[in-house]
Amino acid sequence: MDGLTSAQVSGAKTNHVPRRSSRSLGAIIRANVFTLFNLVIGVLWALVLIFGAWQDGLFGLVIVANALIGIVQELRAKRTLDRLAVINEAPVTVRRDGRDQEIPPRQVVLGDLILLGPGDRLLVDGEVVESDGLEIDESLLTGEADPVHKLPGDQVLSGSFAVAGSGAFVATKVGTDAYAVRLAEEASRFHLARSELREGVANFIKYITWLVIPIGTLLIYSQLRNSADFGTAITGAVAGIVTMIPEGLVLMTSIAFAVGVVRLGRRSCLVQELPAIEGLARVDVLCLDKTGTLTAGGMDLGEVLPLSDGRPIHDALAALANVDHRPNATAKAIQSRYPAAADGWTAVDVVPFSSARKWSGADFGPHGVWLLGAPDVLLDATADGYERAAELASTGARVLALCRTDSLDSLASGSVASAAGTEKAADGRAEAVALVTLKQRIRPDAHETLRYFAKQGVTVKVISGDNPDAVAAIATGLEIPDGHRAIDARTLPADDPAKLAELLDTHTVFGRVTPQQKRAFVGALQSRGHTVAMTGDGVNDVLALKDADLGIAMGAGSPATKAVAQVVLLDDKFSSLPHVVGEGRRVLANIERVSNLFLTKTFYAIALSLLTGVLGLMFPFAPRHSTLVNALTIGIPAFVLALAPTLERAKPGFVPRVLRFAVPAGLLCAGAVFLAFWAAHSGTSTLIEDRTSATIALFLTTWWVLILITKPLTLGRVAMIGAMAGLFALALAIPFIRHFFALEPGDLSNDLTAVGISVVAAAGISVAVKVAGTLRP
């Protein structure tokens, strides 16, 4: 039991596991360089350089820009996440050279003697060598909710966690050999789990890719048939094909997610999974665990109120508080007044505290068996002190009952079955000796944070294992709606999910909630169509955090809690939650705006390609024209919009909503451009002049689409929109730029016709998208 020696440690296999927080530099480069878009655009770029003017190959810079921007943003996110992941790693307590010491998880080696206490997460596999009422929750591995009592010789697996008692085990499998590591299919936090947003973007890409092949073929054929100049035909076809590809959409989505991760990282919020950013935006119900969330970590011992004369109350409290080598928050509060057990108070057997039992106890031999726990669990309603405990709880204090019983044989075996027997034996036969009050510290930022959620339409549910009256008192003090109507979770229907969901919808505060009930609460709320976020810091919150749409753990919480949560508030500040939710809403709302821009471009390019291909006309503009217009109405604005602040809550239906905007807007833009080009082409003007008229129409219609997407307009957004119009005017006015982009506004009547057509098309776009119901107020 002295553990490994320093010499043994130096040569042993270490617990090296690829960090989940980010992928390697090589993987980041490959993911951003070797993409289907880059391949297609690269081939088209090569064709233009071979057969056309180099100015028409400017769109090839998109490959370089996309790759560089994507790599830089992801590297920023990687540095932030790696730094925060190290901060989030809970140290492991091992015994080496006969001394207990805390080390980083990666320094654990094969054969280490690892010590366990409540809330500790098992990072490696091993064999138990010491157990003092040690109970392990393996639900994350097996799905079984009941904790398993572990005795010396039993095997334990990584991915489980201790919920009660203490003990030690020897590491038998570390690193990539450990069960949880082998079980995990993901090696990177940047692997994208299922999300409506990602699936929507992927579907857009898939369908557009299939459309590009036949439409592109038709376009190439029509351009070759109608042009004596092979180079002009190729560049015209390339202009249509390139414009069909939403090359910046994936980039903008990745940037928005990565920047969201970095921004939250600066607020000491560790995002453990990128899809959590999307979940942040969709949350409409927030389940709060009172202890550690609304109340600050730790408690202060209040009063000790005797109920029976002649009993060694203070000695019993001191003994119970110091019986566990890894005391919980309650024991620590009592230890502040009773730092050591009295002489002769040595525990013969112990039942450690667990959130399922809601009490702990120990047999002190000649001094008898003593229990400490919830009064409404340990005492009958007719017992001395029961009503007094309820009165104290109604003031917001946490109340415990100190009880004594002369004999409790079921403690001797130390099994889970005996623990259940202990509870039954204690019921009605334990003598209430004293009531103990604990003062909870309300977080100073709780009021303001709760008001924020109320304004944002997020319903708050307070779910706690404490007495319902105590929870109600805290909720009422924080002005939570209907906080006084607390429900005792023991009265809730266990076999009627529909009734449970109805009660959860109509009530706000719940007390005496077991860990299994917390999990059921999350499922019941989800069954009513809610997107549920769950906060917590204790091992009793793990199952609910895992099942919630978004699990949020406090930084001071147990290692197991932080391991399963998608977001960890490393600074332990409840006031960080508004920023977390706000960042998620910003990302999703802005990605939807950006998607509207890029897919409008895709649909007008598809429509123009079909029109010119079927009617046998030249394509209305060259690649350099689309490069200029796309940069001013999509590329530059997309960067601004993707990072802009917003408080809009995300709504389901991302794909149909974007299509309802992009399809009519794209078709009307294409119609305006085609009419402007056809009107000019039917006269005596040159091809460059005709394409200039079409480019003016393209800019004006897509610029109007930008205005619609940018709403609500702010001073900064108005400045951006004005700047884009100014830059296009300069491109028409300055000879060098005009020549560079092959613009020749020489036919005034054609250009004015293009402007008129654009105004009509802009009005049509406004009506179409408003009828489709996609515009924000």
* Residue 289 annotated among the catalytic residues of the structure: yes
Residue pair 349/363 in contact by the 8 Å Cβ criterion: yes
In the block, residue with structure tokens 């307009």: 713
Helical ranges in 711-734 per DSSP H: 715-733
List of E strands, 71-158: 92-96, 99-103, 113-116, 125-137, 148-149, 155-156
Euclidean distance between CA atoms 250 and 263, whole angstroms: 20
Side chain identity, residue 279: G
Residue pair 633/724 in contact by the 8 Å Cβ criterion: yes
Residue pair 268/576 in contact by the 8 Å Cβ criterion: yes
Euclidean distance between CA atoms 184 and 34, whole angstroms: 26
Active-site residue (options: 289, 469, 541, 747): 289
Question: Residue 95 forms beta bridges with which residues?
Answer: 100, 113
Tokens of 670: 């294409």
Euclidean distance between CA atoms 275 and 462, whole angstroms: 25
Chain Cα centroid distance, residue 185: 19
Tokens of 251: 């980039």
**Angle 196-225/230-244 helices, nearest 10 degrees?**
160
Backbone angles phi, psi at 551, to 5 degrees: -100, 130
Tokens of 204: 């857009």
Chain Cα centroid distance, residue 196: 14
List of E strands, 419-504: 431-442, 459-463, 487-488
Tokens of 133: 């009422």
Euclidean distance between CA atoms 726 and 544, whole angstroms: 54
Taken as a whole, the chain contains a residue count of 777
Angstrom CA distances, 103 to 15, 95, 571, stand at 12, 10, 21
DSSP state of 396: T
Question: Residue 399 forms beta bridges with which residues?
Answer: 437
DSSP state of 647: -
Euclidean distance between CA atoms 725 and 78, whole angstroms: 37
Q: Which is nearest to 532 in space by CA: 506, 555, 551, 512?
A: 551
Residue pair 621/239 in contact by the 8 Å Cβ criterion: yes
DSSP state of 576: G
Euclidean distance between CA atoms 127 and 137, whole angstroms: 15
Tokens of 722: 């004005």
Tokens of 140: 């994350």
Q: Which is nearest to 468 in space by CA: 399, 530, 405?
A: 399
Euclidean distance between CA atoms 666 and 664, whole angstroms: 5
The DSSP H or E segment spanning 607 is: helix 577-615
Q: Which is nearest to 139 in space by CA: 540, 557, 466?
A: 540
Q: Which is nearest to 724 in space by CA: 639, 645, 641, 637?
A: 637
Max CA-CA distance within the chain? 114
700: three-class secondary structure by DSSP: helix
Residue pair 187/23 in contact by the 8 Å Cβ criterion: yes
Question: Residue 436 forms beta bridges with which residues?
Answer: 304, 400
Euclidean distance between CA atoms 769 and 275, whole angstroms: 29
Catalogue the active-site residues. 289
